[in-house]
Homo-oligomer: A and B are copies of this chain.
Amino acid sequence: MDLQEHMLRIGKLAREAAKILAKTPTKIKNQALEAIAQQLEQQQAQLLVANAKDLETGQAKGLDSALLDRLALNNSRIANLIEGLYQVLALPDPIGAITDLNYRPSGIQVGKMRVPLGVVGIIYESRPNVTADAAALCLKSGNATILRGGSESIHSNQAIAQCISTGLQLAGLPGTAVQVIETTDRAAVGELIRMDQYVDVIIPRGGKDLIKRISQEARIPVIKHLHGVCHTYIDDQADLDKAITVAYNAKTQRYGTCNTMETLLVAVGIAAQVLPPLAEKYQAAGVELRGCPATQAILPELKAATPVDWDTEYLAPILSIRIVKDLDAAIEHIGQHSSQHTDAIITENWQRARRFLTEVDSSSVMVNASTRFADGFEYGLGAEIGISTDKFHARGPVGLEGLTSQKFIVLGDGHIRQ
């Protein structure tokens, strides 16, 4: 069987499983999640053996230590993975919820019913935990899943997939509701993102290049999570203490995350007051600061920020600082350089806060809060399959609802159109 036939077969099986999942009651979906969790617990030793194979191959290939770390499973990571399944189990089932059911002048009742998208294709890089996380969210939202992990984690993914498949079957569901692509042939991705008859949406999780390539080649809608160049703007009517606390947290609470602030904008009227104490805190935490000329005038020891800095997602203890004239200039800078992920203003001025909320076109816009809050757990979505920087369909953290659609339902009693 050639690759295309193989992929089409996977697609067809997923489509068939999706039909069954769409009408599976919450109770059965939850039983499946529990059975999968139990399998992962029982198969823990085998998971570690499979993961050891991947790690060995990875070391032989010379993967760097950060990559090897993301690839590694251990007892505590498996426990987290299992905990994640129980968290999804505890979330309310979005499917079947009927909203806005109202009578129309014609006498019919029209409402919307929440339904699964169908088949979700997930393409991800080397973290094996995505296999279980993504499968759980898709299962709970009634979607079949086709997973394509990185070749580095192929054995780990297959071992996890085996647990998922067994768990599904123990709950009376088709094992094909979650399929892991077993070939490491890169052409399989090309096939997956073009099977529009079998796959309803593609979610790529990985680097910017992977996501760009997939977006350009896909024939299927893609929920994109590009990069996070996030801003905090300290307005000249900011409370000084809040400004320092929030801006410090937004950069230093974690460096490697997409919602970490990468550029600090400061109104010229408050710069001389806020920058020296803030710079001291950052420098004490080991953050390298880069500044525009006006910033350097206040903090002469700073390296100059170059134009490239304004568009860079450092994912590291580096921060670029720019002094701007006012709110308009801040919104202008953000409009040009933000990746439309998350941007925040610190101000006590009511009208400026309202303007910032309205005029900044990012998936999360914040007032007097740390950009680090931008994620599914903090927002109360329970879990997230990614953070969409698109506007179409889902925007910001994507939880169960982002994996669903709505159909109209019309209830009548023999009603006809006049």
Contacts and interface: CB of A to CB of B under 8 A. Distances in A.
Q: Chain B CB within 10 Å — which of A106, A239, A405 has the most?
A: A405
Interface in A394-418: 395-397, 405-417
A378 B417 CA distance: 9
A117 B390 CA distance: 10
A414 B108 contact: no
A364 B416 CA distance: 15
Interface string A350-373: 000000011101111111111011
Interface in A87-124: 96, 102, 104, 106, 108, 110, 113, 115, 117-118
B363 A242 contact: no
Contact of A369 (B365, B369, B379, B415): B415
Nearest to A406: B395
Given A359-B22, A406-B395, A407-B395, A253 B110 contact: no
Number of copies: 2
B361 A108 contact: no
A96 B367 contact: no
Contacts of A374: 408, 410
A417 B374 CA distance: 10
B367 A410 contact: yes
Contact of A201 (B22, B108, B392): B392
Contacts of A118: 361, 391
Nearest to A410: B366
20 contacts: A22-B359, A22-B361, A23-B358, A115-B361, A201-B392, A239-B414, A248-B416, A363-B407, A363-B408, A364-B408, A365-B407, A365-B408, A366-B412, A367-B410, A368-B411, A370-B417, A372-B417, A373-B412, A395-B405, A395-B407
